[in-house]
Amino acid sequence: MARRHREPAGAARVAGPRADEPVDGRTGVATIEPQPGLVAEEGNPVSGPITVPAQRCLGETGLAVHPIALGGSTFGWTLGADDAHAVLDRFAGIGGNLLDTADSYAAGRSETIVGSWMASRGTRDRMRVMTKIGRHPDHRGLAPVELRAAVDASLARLGTDRIDVLFFHGDDPGVPLEESLGAVDALIRAGKVLAIGASDFSPERLIEARVLAANGLPRFELLTTRYNLMERRSFEGATELVALAQGLGVLPYFALANGFLAGGIRRRSDVRRDARGERVAKHLGRRGQRVLAVLDEVAASHRAAPATIALAWLLAKPTVVAPVASATRPDHVEALLAAAAVELHRSDLVELDRASA
C-alpha cells in the first residue's frame, strides 16, 4: 500500500473559505462550496448529492475517509438513540464517513446505537467503523479468549460482519503482546477485522509491537490518544516521535477538550454540575482563557467557529490523520467537518502553539 502523503504544517490541503463565501447563520461557519480540492459524491440515503473535501487514507489501511471522525462516546450515555441518530444523519448528510466507538462506551450501547442507525439508513458500506475492545465489563483485557469474545460481541451490536479498524483499548501488561496480536491475526484472516490500532499505548509498547510485526504478526496502523490544544504534553515528545517514525496515523480523541475548545464555556457559571462539567472546569484558568482568546481571533479571520479552528490546528500536525470529536446536537456537526476545508496560515499555527504551550 502506498504511504499516505502529508503536507507540511501550514500548507494548503483544501482551499479555505473566502471573504465572499456564504456563511451559515446558525454556526458562523462558511458553507462548503465546490472548489479545488473538493470532490463530488453521488449522494447517500440521507442527503442526496453532496460535495465534500477530498478524502485521505486512514494511515496505511487503504481505507479512504473524511478527515474528521465522529466520536460515539456520548451515544447511550448523554444522548439517547433518537438524538444520536439525528447527529449521525447530519454527519453522513454532509459527507462524514468515519465513526469511532468502543465496546465500553455506555457498556456497549454506543455500538448498538451505531449499528441500529446503519441498519435503518442502509449506510454500512459508506461508513468506516472503528471500535475499541478491552474494557467492556464482560470481556476485560486482551487475553486471546477475551479478545475473540469481545470482537464477536461488538460485531453483533454493530450489526455487521467486519470491523474496519479494531483498537486495543489500552495496554494489558498481564498478557504478552504477541498473544493478543496472534489472536487478532486469526480474526483478520477470518475477515472479521480489517486493520488494527492502539489506544493510549506507551512509546515502548509501540516499539515492541513493531518488532513483533516485523516477525509476521499484525501491525498497528493507527494510534488514538488524548491530544488537543489544552492537553499536549502526553503526546508531544516520545509518543509523537515514535508515531512519526513508524508511520502511524494518529487520531486524537477529546479533540475539543470535552467541549471547552468549542468556546461556549468562558466562566465557572457556564459549567454544568456533572462529571463532564468537572473535566471542562479544569481548563478555566489563565492558560485556557489565553487559548480561547487566540481561537476567537483566528476563527474571526477565517469566518469560522472556534471548534473548527481547534480541529484544523490538529489536522496541521504531521502525524494526525483524523481528529475524533463528538457532537451533542445535529447543528454542531457543521463546525466539526468544516475543519477539513480550512487552511490555517503559518502565523495562525504559531499563535495557537504559543498560547497553548
The answer to whether residue 277 scores a pLDDT higher than 90 is no
Q: What is the distance between the alpha carbons of residues 221 and 225, in angstroms, rounded to a whole number? A: 14
Q: What is the distance between the alpha carbons of residues 228 and 324, in angstroms, rounded to a whole number? A: 10
Crossing angle between the packed helical segments 306-315 and 346-356, to the nearest 10 degrees: 100
Contact between residue 138 and residue 153 where contact means Cβ atoms under 8 Å apart: yes
**Angle (nearest 5°) at CA 66 between 296 and 168:** 100
The answer to whether residue 228 scores a pLDDT higher than 90 is yes
Contact between residue 134 and residue 170 where contact means Cβ atoms under 8 Å apart: yes
Return all residues near 152 (Cβ < 8 A) that are at least 6 apart: 192
38-356: CATH topology is TIM Barrel (3.20.20)
What pLDDT score does 8 carry? 33
What pLDDT score does 46 carry? 52
User: pLDDT tens-digit profile of 189-222?
Assistant: 999 999 999 999 999 999 999 999 999 999 999 9
The answer to whether residue 9 scores a pLDDT higher than 70 is no
Burial of 7 (0-12, 13-18, 19+ CB in 10 A): exposed
The answer to whether residue 41 scores a pLDDT higher than 90 is no
Give the C-alpha distances (Å, rounded to integers) separating 272 from 42, 75, 306: 42, 19, 20
* 203 vs 50 pLDDT, higher one: 203
Give the C-alpha distances (Å, rounded to integers) separating 149 from 103, 139, 140, 144: 11, 7, 10, 9
What pLDDT score does 51 carry? 54
Q: Confidence band (pLDDT; 50, 70, 90) for 19?
A: very low
> Which cell numbers hold the place of 180?
493478543
The answer to whether residue 332 scores a pLDDT higher than 80 is yes
Identity at 247, one-letter amino acid code: G
User: pLDDT tens-digit profile of 66-76?
Assistant: 999 999 999 99
Q: Confidence band (pLDDT; 50, 70, 90) for 36?
A: very low
Q: Confidence band (pLDDT; 50, 70, 90) for 17?
A: very low
User: pLDDT tens-digit profile of 166-187?
Assistant: 999 999 999 999 999 999 999 9
Q: What is the distance between the alpha carbons of residues 293 and 218, in angstroms, rounded to a whole number? A: 44
